[in-house]
Amino acid sequence: MAIRFDGRVAIVTGAGNGLGRAHALGLASRGAKVVVNDFGGARDGTGGSLTPAESVVEEIRKAGGTAMADGADVSKFGQVTAMVERATKEWGSVDLLCANAGILRDKSFGKMDVADFAKVLDVHLVGTFYCCKAVWDGMRERNYGRIVLTTSSSGLFGNFGQANYGAAKAGMVGLMNVLAEEGRKNNVRVNTISPTAATRMTEELLPPQALALMKPEAITPAVEYLLSEDAPTRTIMGAGAGSFAVIKIIETEGV
Ligand code: ADP
């Protein structure tokens, strides 16, 4: 049976672009009310005044779905809790969380300073902790929650220039392992997905021929499964868009 999310409220972070946008559109098309989170401002040079999150909300509404935009910076706990409070006030609960916001600051380790390391950890790992923390008690009290964390093959195998990103993504797997166990008896299921798709994060790493095959939308069904009623828990899922998944990208000098 097709997956549906009617009556469910979802937060997708980093949903103004790429994977998060595709996931937000997918969840809304299947009946979820979606908080489209992205801290990005209006794009320069487009002449438009909408933020990326607001444009995605427009897309969802045009397709008949329900969504609200939220500009919280996931690395600020106060902003994250305010987002969760807003959603709960408006729609009653937060049932689904897709933690997807992210940045890159690639540099070979010799050139990477403490700020480059801390900033990436702050958005990916600490930000994910904040998002999970903000929805956790509500999910456990209502005996329903589905959380999917976007991780990366970089966190499992490592990529050149990504000591910060790889450490953050490996940390997210560690977080998932514990939350999955601690949430189990309250029907809160937690998984990670390690996607390979063409996004702003991969466009500098992969050749154009590969990118052309790798639409973010192709990852969304895997995310929908991990957020569904029948989701497993404590899974590290890999998902590839196109005819192949890139398992390992490493030796790129020059960062
Ligand atoms: P991907 O599609 O691989 O996730 P993108 O760079 O296309 O990569 O999307 C990541 C999104 O996360 C961007 O739209 C970016 O604005 C957003 N983002 C980055 N940092 C934060 C943050 N601290 N809080 C909220 N959103 C963020």
pLDDT band for position 142 (50/70/90)?
very high
pLDDT band for position 108 (50/70/90)?
very high
For residues 236 and 239, what is the distance between their CA atoms, to the nearest angstrom?
10
User: Which is catalytic among the residues 130, 144, 165, 225?
Assistant: 165
For residues 95 and 17, what is the distance between their CA atoms, to the nearest angstrom?
22
Q: What is the pLDDT of residue 202?
A: 72
Closest ligand 1 atom to Cα of 127: 23
Q: What is the pLDDT of residue 136?
A: 98
Q: What is the pLDDT of residue 244?
A: 56
pLDDT band for position 238 (50/70/90)?
confident
Closest ligand 1 atom to Cα of 75: 23
DSSP helix/strand/coil, 149: strand
Range name among 89-103, 113-127, 187-201, 227-241 with the lowest pLDDT average: 187-201
Angle at 64 between CA 59 and CA 68, to 5 degrees: 60
Testing ligand 1's pocket by substitution, the residue of 200, 205, 206 carrying the most ligand atoms inside 8 A of its CB is 200
What's the pTM value of the predicted model, to 2 decimals? 0.93
Query: What's the 1 CA to ligand 1 centre distance in angstroms?
Result: 32
Residue 12 corresponds to which amino acid? V
For residues 95 and 93, what is the distance between their CA atoms, to the nearest angstrom?
6
- Mean pLDDT, all residues of the chain: 91
DSSP helix/strand/coil, 148: strand
**pLDDT tens figures, 58-107:** 999 999 999 999 999 999 999 999 999 999 999 999 999 999 999 999 99
Q: What is the pLDDT of residue 166?
A: 95
**pLDDT tens figures, 13-43:** 999 999 999 999 999 999 999 999 999 886 5
Q: What is the pLDDT of residue 45?
A: 56
The interface predicted TM-score of the complex, written ipTM, equals 0.97
Distances (CA, A) of 239 to 131, 144, 216: 23, 25, 10
Is 130 an active-site residue?
no
44 or 223: which leads in pLDDT:
223
For residues 55 and 174, what is the distance between their CA atoms, to the nearest angstrom?
34
Query: What's the 91 CA to ligand 1 centre distance in angstroms?
Result: 24
For the segment 130-134, the average pLDDT, to the nearest whole number, is 99
Percent pLDDT > 90 in the chain is 76
Chain centroid to Cα 140, Å, comes to 21
H/E element holding 113? none
Determine how many CB atoms are found less than 10 A away from the CB of residue 166. 20
H/E element holding 97? strand 96-99
- Residue 95's nearest CA partner among 86, 87, 107 is 87
Query: What's the 236 CA to ligand 1 centre distance in angstroms?
Result: 21
Query: What's the 11 CA to ligand 1 centre distance in angstroms?
Result: 14
Nearest CA to ligand 1 atom 15: 14
Q: What is the pLDDT of residue 239?
A: 86
- Residue 172's nearest CA partner among 51, 74, 31 is 74
43 or 208: which leads in pLDDT:
208
Write out the two tokens for 24.
Answer: 């937000």
